[in-house]
Amino acid sequence: MSDPFMQAAIEEAKKGLAEGGIPIGSVLVHRGVIIGRGHNRRVQSGSVVLHGEMDALENAGRQSANVYRESVLYTTLSPCAMCSGTILLYGIPQVVIGENKTFVGEEQWLTQRGVELTVLQDPTCVALMRDFIDANPTLWNEDIGE
Amino acid sequence: MSDPFMQAAIEEAKKGLAEGGIPIGSVLVHRGVIIGRGHNRRVQSGSVVLHGEMDALENAGRQSANVYRESVLYTTLSPCAMCSGTILLYGIPQVVIGENKTFVGEEQWLTQRGVELTVLQDPTCVALMRDFIDANPTLWNEDIGE
């Protein structure tokens, strides 16, 4: 398989699914080392702010601006407005996205603000979300405010 | 004094300050009733995602899209990119801001997306932040990713 950091994000997504949650995972990578990993916690913790990306950042803990500016965020799904805003707040310069076929977040806003995006269209990421949304449309809509 | 909901947000900010934290507070108001209140948790919980607004939303718990769309978010300080993205994610149509003299967040983005903003320039809110930033510039910079 391909990128080991995307694989780690996918592991997080699968962990979330196994817990009965929404299968979106993320890892924050600083100079080639994972410093935070996480997955969506809506179901597991009743959280409305811990999307996968937010959970990875929260688990990375308090970091200086320099660390964020040398980091890459990997996420299995295109980041929503909340997660995109957080990427901009902390000045994370690069985001690798598993897929944007099932949901397109604020990619345009990120690109306009100079964030470098790479979309892998990873078939595992697509299948995880497609199957989940088919089976749990109401829960998915809640997660994206619809 | 003026708006009771802004007063509740200020109480939250003061609570945070008394805990040794960053004095920013917020309340989420649904049809005239506070359904969530919170304050910045960077110092208290080592959180990088729980800004005041995020903490208020988290404490309001899981809500349907309809609730958010009938709600007003009160915050003592102009909302940063993360909090602005969250306001957009959940479709909160109206935000009342205590002040934007010490920090201006993504107000333009919110306005462009149709969110109605009211800036009170409340002197208590300004004094809370001005004193805090003067005394704790490094901590404040960390909170806004600088």
Which residues in B lie closer than 8 A to residue A142 (C-beta atoms)? 62, 64-65
CB proximity A45 to B under 8 Å:
no
Q: Are B83 and B103 in contact (CB under 8 A)?
A: no
3-state SS string for chain B: CCCHHHHHHHHHHHHHHHCCCCCCEEEEEECCEEEEEEECCHHHHCCCCCCHHHHHHHHHCCCCHHHHHCEEEEECCCCCHHHHHHHHHCCCCEEEECCCCCCCCCHHHHHHCCCEEEECCCHHHHHHHHHHHHHCHHHHHHHCCC
Q: Could you tell me the pLDDT band of residue A81, with boundaries at 50, 70 and 90?
A: very high
Alpha helix segments (H runs only) across A63-135: 65-69, 81-89, 107-112, 123-135
ipTM > 0.95 (yes/no): yes
Of A53, A70, A99, A106, the catalytic one is A53
Instruction: Specify the amino acid at residue A131.
Output: D
Q: Which pLDDT score, from 0 to 100, does residue B34 have?
A: 98
Q: Could you tell me the pLDDT band of residue A7, with boundaries at 50, 70 and 90?
A: very high
Q: Are B76 and B128 in contact (CB under 8 A)?
A: yes
Q: Which of A44, A59, A47 is nearest to A8 (CA)?
A: A59
Beta-carbon contacts of B42 under 8 Å, excluding residues fewer than 6 positions away, are A62, B21, B22, B48, B50, B139, B142, B143
Q: Which of A105, A55, A43 is nearest to A77 (CA)?
A: A105
CB proximity A103 to B under 8 Å:
no
The C-alpha atoms of residue A122 and residue A100 are separated, in whole angstroms, by 9
Q: Are B40 and B51 in contact (CB under 8 A)?
A: yes
Beta-carbon contacts of B138 under 8 Å, excluding residues fewer than 6 positions away, are none
Q: What is the mean pLDDT of the segment spanning A21-36?
A: 98
Q: Could you tell me the pLDDT band of residue A141, with boundaries at 50, 70 and 90?
A: very high
The C-alpha atoms of residue B73 and residue B62 are separated, in whole angstroms, by 16
Q: What is the mean pLDDT of the segment spanning B31-42?
A: 98
Q: Which pLDDT score, from 0 to 100, does residue B74 have?
A: 98
- To the query of whether residue A53 is one of the catalytic residues in this protein, the response is yes
The C-alpha atoms of residue B37 and residue A23 are separated, in whole angstroms, by 29
Q: Are A35 and A63 in contact (CB under 8 A)?
A: yes
Mean pLDDT of chain B: 97
Nearest Cβ partner for A89 among B46, B80, B141: B80
Q: Could you tell me the pLDDT band of residue B97, with boundaries at 50, 70 and 90?
A: very high
Nearest Cβ partner for A86 among B60, B82, B90: B82
Q: Which pLDDT score, from 0 to 100, does residue B35 have?
A: 98
Place of tokens 């990088």: B48
**pTM above the 0.95 mark?**
yes
The neighbour count for residue A100, using CB atoms within 10 Å, is: 18
Q: What is the largest CA-CA distance in chain B?
A: 41
pLDDT tens digits for A104-115? 999 999 999 999
Which residues in A lie closer than 8 A to residue B109 (C-beta atoms)? 109
The C-alpha atoms of residue A60 and residue B1 are separated, in whole angstroms, by 41
Smallest Cα distance from A9 to chain B, Å: 19
Q: Which pLDDT score, from 0 to 100, does residue A1 have?
A: 54
Closest-CA residue in chain A for B80?
A89
Q: Which pLDDT score, from 0 to 100, does residue A114 have?
A: 98
Mean pLDDT of chain A: 97
Under the phi-then-psi rule, with left for phi > 0, alpha for psi from -120 to 50, and beta for the rest, what region is B114? left
Smallest Cα distance from B24 to chain A, Å: 16
